[in-house]
Copies of this chain bind each other. A is one copy, B any other.
Amino acid sequence: MRRSILLTPGPTQVPEEALAIASMPIMHHRTPQFEKIFAEVEESLKYVFQTANPVLIFTSSGTGAMESTIVNTLSPGDKVIVIVGGKFGERWAEIAKAYNLNLIQLDVPWDQVIDVDRLKKTIEENPDTKAILTTLSETSTGGVTDIESISKITKDKDMLLVVDAISGLGVTNIKTDEWGVDVVIAGSQKGLMIPPGLAFVSVSEKAQKFMENSKLPKYYFSWKKSLKNLDKNTTPWTPGISLIMQINEALKLIKAEGLENVFKRHSRLSKAIREAMLALNLEIYNKNTGDTCTAVKVPEGIDGEKMVKICRDKFMVTLTGGQDQLKGKIFRISAMGNVNENDLMLGVTVVERVLSELGYKFNKGSGVAAAMKSLEEQGA
């Protein structure tokens, strides 16, 4: 008998309402019935993206939406500044290289996020930069970048601020229009709480102007085709119909809770996670860890891969390990999306049990006590 829990930074647990509708008979997408649902989804997405601009919907993973941004706003040889402080910053750099852009790569140690003054200096030295490509929540490290401060530098310049918010949107605040973020990218399987397969891109007026001059080749990910079809509440290609139905349900839940409350909930649970880990004498990996995902250093002598495996296979709690240079060295625990207090508390008990099984010495129950205390102190 299994009843698994995901404390992962995507895919996240799908709410029951969004699971149930996936088992309904499929409807055809070229019908007024579907277009009505599509229009509802678009309106809800604008609410969650905090934008009045169009939010494009692609059937792809978030990576596809990242690529769409490059091919629709830029031309070969364009200068871009890419901030690389983890696996998803690396992805920006890889896509930029694949399309022969002129890449200025700002490498940041994975346990930190970009220093905004350093970025500012680089922008000043490179006034011909067309776009800053960065990451709101670097899922691989837990670091959350200060997008608000960056937006103040780029807002009035003729360059785009492009933010991969795939694991941040609907989790931690990003005020797209108020801050002046030109492109915000999200995926369906993180804060938006449905299975992977849809990706979203908000497009500012400035970004739409860049689109008019872009010379990189594109077809499936064409923003122009997507924008043209958005006006008719549809997509140029057959969309992930069942996923659209599912996200409509998930977005209703987010709207009912209210976006500010969603952020507060994530903040409260994430704080409790951090307190629990610290109480176990574990170290938080990234100095700018936010409320999206907490990367925790695996104690000396413990095999991090093995720890994650036992949590999942013996105790049915899925955490994630480290990627690439962090493989075996960190584990990641997250209250992203549809995670409640019971899930979190159970997760902490499992971390304690598995660390104990692997020979780590600590006061049993101290993590659970700290999480409980944190939740109590923060109020309901």
**Copies of chain A in the complex:** 2
A95 CA / B237 CA spacing, docked (Å): 13
**A196 near B240 (CB under 8 angstroms)?**
yes
**A14 near B26 (CB under 8 angstroms)?**
yes
CB distance from A175 to the nearest CB of B (A): 26
Enumerate chain B residues within 8 angstroms of A221, measured Cβ to Cβ: 220
Enumerate chain B residues within 8 angstroms of A240, measured Cβ to Cβ: 195-197, 240, 243
**B61 near A28 (CB under 8 angstroms)?**
no
In the complex, which range does the number of interface residues on chain A fall in?
A: 35 or more
Counting CB contacts under 8 A, is A13 at the interface? Answer: yes
CB distance from A96 to the nearest CB of B (A): 10
Most buried by B among A27, A99, A197: A197
Enumerate chain B residues within 8 angstroms of A217, measured Cβ to Cβ: 98-100, 216-217
**A95 near B23 (CB under 8 angstroms)?**
no
**B98 near A218 (CB under 8 angstroms)?**
yes
Looking across the interface, which residue of chain B has its beta carbon closest to that of A21?
A: B23
CB contact between A195 and one of B10, B11, B94, B241 (< 8 Å): that residue: B241
Counting CB contacts under 8 A, is A1 at the interface? Answer: no
**A25 near B31 (CB under 8 angstroms)?**
no
**B61 near A239 (CB under 8 angstroms)?**
yes
A-B contact pairs, 20 of them (CB 8 A): A4-B27, A8-B28, A11-B28, A12-B26, A14-B26, A23-B23, A59-B61, A61-B239, A63-B236, A64-B64, A64-B237, A67-B219, A94-B219, A95-B219, A98-B217, A189-B238, A195-B240, A196-B238, A220-B221, A242-B242
User: Using a CB–CB distance below 8 Å, which chain A residues touch chain B?
Assistant: 4, 6, 8, 10-14, 19-20, 22-31, 59-64, 67, 94-95, 98-100, 187, 189, 195-197, 216-221, 236-243, 312, 318, 320
Known A19-B22, A60-B64; 7 more pairs at CB < 8 Å: A6-B28, A11-B238, A19-B23, A59-B59, A59-B197, A197-B241, A242-B242
